[in-house]
């Protein structure tokens, strides 16, 4: 029998579950272990309504999250969402958690009238690329994306 994945929009009350996963996610990208900073960052985004997160649970245990930021397309005059973060704990991988989170994000984006969900991932993260492509995401070969580092913390 497959374990049921329950996805809900994260609220401030979920920060005790969300912050440790966000910290684990950041450590994957070679950032320092700092749960307090992660919690403060997420809480600030939630309270200012600057982002939206969904949290996935199996048997009431937090096992993953997806974090999105709203934006707009100047060309199409429509809202867009940027999926900045997706994380599934190792104990819950290959159980449909990532798919469930991506499906929740897609439904929310459609319901908000958005025309696209954008994301980027490291070139080395082949597992994530396979998941995204299996859910209909396409690699953008039309545009180059640039970054301008403003501080020496990259």
Instruction: Say if residue 1's pLDDT is above 60.
Output: no
Per the CB < 8 A criterion, the answer to whether 128 and 91 are in contact is no
Q: For the chain, give the percent of residues with pLDDT over 70.
A: 97
Cα–Cα distance for residue pair 84/46, rounded to 1 Å? 15
pLDDT value of position 153: 63
Q: Which of 137, 130, 127 is nearest to 103 (CA)?
A: 137
Q: Report strand pairing: 52-58 vs 5-9.
A: antiparallel
Cα–Cα distance for residue pair 145/120, rounded to 1 Å? 10
Cα–Cα distance for residue pair 66/102, rounded to 1 Å? 7
Cβ neighbours of 102 (radius 10 Å): 23
pLDDT digits (tens, 9 = 90+) for 28-37: 989 999 999 9
Query: What count of Cα atoms within 13 Å lies in the side-chain half-sphere of residue 141?
Result: 2
Q: For the chain, give the percent of residues with pLDDT over 90.
A: 82
Largest CA distance in the chain: 50
Domain segments of the chain as ranges: 5-134
CA 52 to chain centre: 9
Q: Confidence class of residue 20 from pLDDT cuts 50, 70 and 90?
A: very high
- Which pTM value belongs to this model? 0.91
9 DSSP β-pair partners: 54
Cα–Cα distance for residue pair 38/45, rounded to 1 Å? 11
**CATH number, domain 5-134:** 3.40.630.30
Distances (CA, A) of 119 to 20, 43, 111, 124: 22, 22, 19, 15
Per the CB < 8 A criterion, the answer to whether 105 and 54 are in contact is yes
């Amino acid at each position: 029998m497959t374990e049921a994945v329950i996805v809900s929009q994260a609220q401030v009350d979920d920060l005790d579950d969300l912050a440790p996963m966000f910290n684990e996610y950041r450590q994957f990208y070679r950032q320092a272990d700092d749960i307090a900073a992660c919690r403060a960052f997420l809480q600030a985004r939630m309270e200012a309504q600057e982002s939206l997160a969904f949290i996935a649970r199996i048997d009431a245990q937090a096992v993953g999250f997806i974090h999105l930021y709203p934006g707009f397309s100047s060309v199409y005059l429509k809202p867009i969402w940027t999926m900045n973060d997706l994380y599934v704990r190792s104990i819950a991988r290959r159980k449909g958690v990532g798919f469930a989170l991506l499906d929740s994000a897609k439904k929310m984006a459609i319901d908000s009238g958005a025309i696209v969900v954008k994301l980027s991932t490291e070139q080395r993260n082949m597992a994530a690329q396979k998941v995204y492509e299996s859910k209909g995401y396409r690699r953008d070969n039309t545009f180059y994306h640039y970054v301008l580092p403003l501080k020496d913390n990259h």
